[in-house]
Structure 1
Amino acid sequence: MAEVAYGSLPFGEMVRFFLRKLNLPTEHWTDIYTREHDWAFVVAGANRDALVADFRAAVDKAIAEGGTLEDFRRDFDRIVATHGWDYNGGRDWRSRVIYETNLNTAYAAGRYEQLQAAPYWQYVHADWVTNPRHQHLAWDGLVLRRDDPWWQTHYPPNGWGCQCSVRGLWPRDLAAMGKDGPDEAPEVHLVERLIGQRNPRGPRLVLVPAGIDPGFEYIPGSSRQRGAAQGNMGQ
């Protein structure tokens, strides 16, 4: 999976997160938003069941087998030709968005499940990014408690193509870093963003923290973790 953001190999939590999603046809990327992506697989503008199913199979293969972007693009071309899909944007851009967004959020959800044992989390900005977002770079190295509310809106990926990730830390790690406790969470500044200008249902305003692209202000997989915990409590 050399071209996925984190450069990771597939792992169980990542694969299972994606497999549990239900296919959902949509007209526009704003038809479902933030945590709704924990439960549904969508491709913006793929509004037919068969088309969504074929994309689902291609993404599933990329996640489970560690396929590259070029591998996925071959599947993308075949699916577009089979269904005569008239999509927005250029072929290279659109195929990258579908591939990276699905693999990066599945990775993030899998890591979120794994990180529950660590009392502290550290924000890690990928040092190979050639055009870093200034806010993301400013958060690099930030150490907060796992349950700090800041993570609810700033757990990466934090935008289209974002390469940031989270690392789990223990008290001994903080001591080795010369810290006697976590850092203070940065102040969150909410900004209004207008999204869905091309949606037939009309646009809407959303409040998003500065530095976060609309739709990324959540923790991938967190709603599933809460649902599982509530289910266990009821047993």
Structure 2
Amino acid sequence: MPEVKYQDLPFEEAIAFFRQKLNLPTATWTDIWQAMHTRAFVVAGAIKADLLQDLRAAVEQAIAEGTTLATFRDAFDEAVAKYGWIYVGGRNWRSRLIFETNIRTAYAAGRWQQMTDPDLLKLRPYLLYRHGDSRYPRPQHLAWDGLVLPADDPWWKTHYPPNGWGCKCRVFSLSKRELKAMGKSGPDRAPDNGSYQWADKNTGQTHTVPTGIDPGWAYNVGEKTDWTPDVSKYPKRLGDYLSRELEDLS
């Protein structure tokens, strides 16, 4: 199958996914958890609304127009200088993390919407997991390479990629004919690789995470959620800001 590069964007589903997010200032990356990210644009430590909006605009340009990491870094540097933002990590690492995380999740969400379209599912009812071309591959992701499951298998609710920071794994839809061409008489059985416990140092809360998945990534970015932030739990100024954000998106 041909490699799809993120610079091949845009496509409507990925753009729509990103544009329906609201800006949510946060102090740490665990301030919102898993599927909440499908509704909120966050950058850990970006608590100024204007800073967050400038970063969002640069990310949206990349998703909608296919601009490069270099272009995003120019906008990142401008925002840092403009607002005096002191962020965690080196400039190259942090800018790449923001850029690639948002690009990959938007792409994955858009692909999920395409692959689970009812009309397409009639022709291509299976999904194939493919390991990405990572320099340091995760052993569990490699083990899932070639796994074929029905599109409605519950496994995809927690294992649809990306499955961690920097994860480049992809999913492709398959027809029954393509499944047979792979030498399979039917779909595989969803693997049960167990789980592990991860403690959030900021809150002290412990989460159960599937083996092979990074903390905070055990969700399907393409599945819609009804979650919205409870504005009453935020300080008045931030609560008022979030209320305006929600009104603009409604």
Identical-pair percentage: 56
1:165 is matched with which residue: 138, 162, 170? 170
Kindly provide the amino acid, as one letter, of the partner of residue 14 in structure 1.
Answer: A
The match for 2:130 is: 124
Give yes or no for contact 2:28–2:45 (8 Å, CA) kept in 1: yes
Aligned pairs for 1:47-66 within 5 A: 47-66=47-66
RMSD, matched Cα: 1.6
Mapping of residues 57-76 of structure 1, within 5 Å: 57-76=57-76
More off after superposition, 34-43 vs 170-179: 170-179
Query: What whole-Å deviation, never above 9, does each CA across 1:16-61 have from its counterpart, x for those lacking one?
Result: 1001111111111101111101111111110111111111101111
2:39 alignment counterpart: 39
Alignment of 1:97-116 (within 5 A): 97-116=97-116
Q: Distance in 1 between matches of 2:36 and 2:205?
A: 17
Partners of 2:8 and 2:220 in 1: how far apart?
Answer: 19
Q: Which amino acid aligns with 2:205?
A: R
- Does 2:195 correspond to 1:190? yes
Stretches of structure 1 lacking an aligned partner (at least 5 in a row): 226-235
The Cα offsets for residues 61-115 of structure 1, whole Å up to 9 and x where unpaired, read as: 1111111111111110000000000101111111011001111100110001011
Q: Residue by residue, what CA displacement relative to the aligned partner does 1:138-183 show, whole Å, maximum 9, x if unpaired? A: 1001001111111111100001000001000111111111211101
- 2:216 maps to 215
Uncovered stretches (5+) of structure 2, i.e. residues with no partner? 227-250
CA contact (8 A) 2:43 2:98 kept: yes
More moved, 177-186 vs 158-167: 177-186
SS, match of residue 163 in structure 1: coil
8 Å contact kept, 1:5–1:100? no
Worse-matched range after superposition: 6-15 or 96-105: 6-15
Deviates more, 1:216-225 or 1:140-149: 216-225
Distance in 2 (alpha carbons) for counterparts of 1:43 and 1:51? 10
8 Å contact from structure 2 (residues 129, 145) kept in 1: yes
Letter in 1 for 2:82: T
CA distances 1:114-144 after superposition (whole Å, capped 9, x unpaired): 1112311000112x32211110011001001
Q: How far 1:221 sits from its partner (Å)?
A: 2.6
SS class of match (1:222): coil
Amino acid at match of 1:10: P
Aligned residues: 217
Equivalent residue, structure 1, for 2:185: 180
* 1:9 Cα deviation after fit: 2.4
Q: 1:223 to 1:162 in 2, by over 3 A?
A: same
Contact 2:7-2:68 within 8 A present in 1 as well: no
For residues 67 and 217 of structure 1, the distance between their equivalents in structure 2, rounded to whole angstroms, comes to 29
Which one of 139, 142, 150 corresponds to residue 145 of structure 1?
150
How far apart, in 2, do the equivalents of 1:216 and 1:106 lie?
14
Report if aligned partners of 2:36, 2:225 keep a CA contact under 8 Å in 1. no
CA distance in 2, matches of 1:193, 1:218: 16
d(CA) in 1 for partners of 2:204, 2:99? 26
Alpha carbons 2:7, 2:66 under 8 Å: kept: no
When the two structures are superposed, what TM-score results if normalisation uses the length of structure 1?
Answer: 0.88
- Distance, in Å, in 1 between the alignment partners of 2:8 and 2:165 is 18
SS at 1:152 equivalent = helix
